[in-house]
Amino acid sequence: MRPADLLRLALDNLTRNRTRSLLTLIGIMVGVAALQALLAYGAGLQQNARQEFEALELYNTLRVTPSPTIFGRMGLMPPDPTPDTTDANRPKITLTDSLLREIEQIDGVLAAYPEVVFPAKLKANGRSAPVQAEAVPTVFGQLAAYQPTEGAFFSAATDTSILIAPSMAQRLGVEDASDLIGQTITLETVSLHVQRMMQLGPAIAAGMTTLPLIHHQNRVRVAGLLPEADQPVSGFVRVVLPLDYARQLRKITFFSALDLMLRDGSADGYAAARVQLADTDAYDRVRREVEQTGAFVTSFREQFGQLERLFLIMDLAFGIIGFIALLVATLGIANTMMMNVMERRREIGVMKAVGGDERDLQRLFIAESVTLGLLGGVLGLVLARGITSLIQFGVDVYVQRLGLPQFDLFQAPVWLSLAIVGVAVLVSLLAGLAPARRAARVEPIEALRAA
C-alpha cells in the first residue's frame, strides 16, 4: 500500500469517531505544550543568567580573600585546581594596597582593587530607591559593560559622580533617563553610631533587632547611563561610582547580619579584593600567580559553572514533569487504537479475506497513531506558544511598571521544538504497535462470524 493511501485511510478512520479522536488529540496537545513550556522556561532562565554574567564581565573576574570563604570551608564552592590552595592550615595573609599593586603587575591583569560594595539609597525628584553601590577603578572605562550609552565615564578616581541604568532613573520618577545626566542627586549612606551601640550594648546582646545608624546625605552627579540590554535585573538596583570616592564615604559594607558574620577581614587589610582580567586566555595563569602570593582565590566563572549545573538539574526536573504528561497522553492513544481494533473487527476480517496483507494492516494502524502524534505535537507547539506569549505579556507589563527593561522569560530554539514533536511521534508510534499487531492477528473467519 502506498504511503499516500495509508495517510488517506488513516485520516478517514480517525474521523469516524471524531469525539474520541479529538479527546485523544487534546491529550497529546496538553502533554506537548507542557513539555515545551517547561523546557523553554528553563532555557530562558539560563540564557538570562548567562547574559548577566557576560555583560558584567564576571567571567573574567577573580575574588581574592585572606582566608578561605565560609562557603569554601562548608564545601559549597568548587575546590581549587591546585592542591596547595585547598590547604585550610595555610597562614592567613593581609590584603593590603601593596599586595594589590603586586597582583596588578601580573601580565594579563587589568586591575586589582579592594571590593567595595555597599547598600545605599538614591534620592531625586521627591523619590528614593534602595540600591547596591559598586565601586570600580577608572580603568574600567575600557570595559564595554561600564561604557555609558549616554553621558561619560568618570573623569577621575575621586570624581563625585555615579553611573546608573535607565531603569534606575524610571524608579526615581524620571521618564526620560537622559534628562538626569549632569543632574546632582543624593546618595544616602549609613554608618554605625558607635557611641549609641556602646550605650545599647546590653539591649543588643539581649536580642535587639535594629542597630543605631547615622544617615549621610552625599551629593553626587549623574555622569552617564549604563547599558542594560543584557543586564536588566542588575541594572534595576546597581549604581557604579569611582573607587577612591567610595572609599571616602562613611558607610556600612554589609547587607545583613548574616553577611556581616560571613565576612573574614581584619583591621589591617581588606576583607576581599577583586582581580579583573584584561585577557580571557590568561585566566588559568593569572589565577596560579595570584595564589602564589598566599591569597585565596575564588572564581565567578566557577560559581556560574555551579549555577549551570543547578539549571541542568532544573531542566531535567521540568523535562520529567512534561514527559509524564506526554506519557499519559500516550496511554490515551493506545486506548483509542485498541477501541478502533475492537470496533473494526469485521472490516479487518473483510480486508484479510479479500487478500489484505498483515503488514499493510499493521502499517495502517501505526499510521493512525503516528498521525495523532504528529497532529497533536504540532498543535501542542501552537498551544505552548500561545500560553508562553500570554505569560510573557503579563511579565512585560509587570516589569514595565517596575521600570525594568523587558526580557525574554522563555527561550524555545527551533531544534527544541522539532525534538519535542519527534518525541511525540515516537511515543505515539510505540503506543500503536500493540494494537497494530492485534489487528494483524485477527482471523478473517472468526471476525466475520462474530460480526
Give per-residue pLDDT as tens, 313-336. 888 888 888 788 777 777 887 877
Cell of 54: 557576560
Report the distance separating Cα 230 and Cα 48, nearest Å. Answer: 8
Q: What is the pLDDT of residues 188-229, one digit of tens each?
A: 998 876 555 555 555 545 454 556 778 899 999 999 998 877
Written as one letter, the residue type at 251 is K
Q: Would you state the pLDDT for residue 244?
A: 92
Q: Does residue 255 or residue 116 have the better pLDDT?
A: 116
pLDDT(123) > 60: yes
Name the band, by pLDDT with cuts 50, 70 and 90, for residue 251: confident
pLDDT(439) > 80: no
Q: Does residue 4 or residue 252 have the better pLDDT?
A: 252
Torsion of the alpha carbons at 171, 174, 176 and 179, rounded to the nearest 10: -120
pLDDT(381) > 90: yes
Q: Would you state the pLDDT for residue 260?
A: 47
Tell me the pairing of strands 161-164 and 273-277. unpaired
> How much of the chain, in percent, has pLDDT values that exceed 70?
74
Report the distance separating Cα 434 and Cα 366, nearest Å. Answer: 9
pLDDT(383) > 90: yes
Name the band, by pLDDT with cuts 50, 70 and 90, for residue 74: very low
Q: Does residue 140 or residue 67 have the better pLDDT?
A: 140
Question: What is the average per-residue pLDDT within 7-11?
Answer: 72
Say which residues have a Cβ less than 8 Å from residue 419's Cβ, sequence separation at least 6: none
pLDDT(277) > 80: yes
Model confidence, pTM:
0.64
Residue with cell 549555577: 307
Please answer whether residues 10 and 282 qualify as being in contact, where contact means their C-beta atoms are separated by less than 8 angstroms.
no
Report the distance separating Cα 308 and Cα 104, nearest Å. Answer: 30
Written as one letter, the residue type at 290 is V
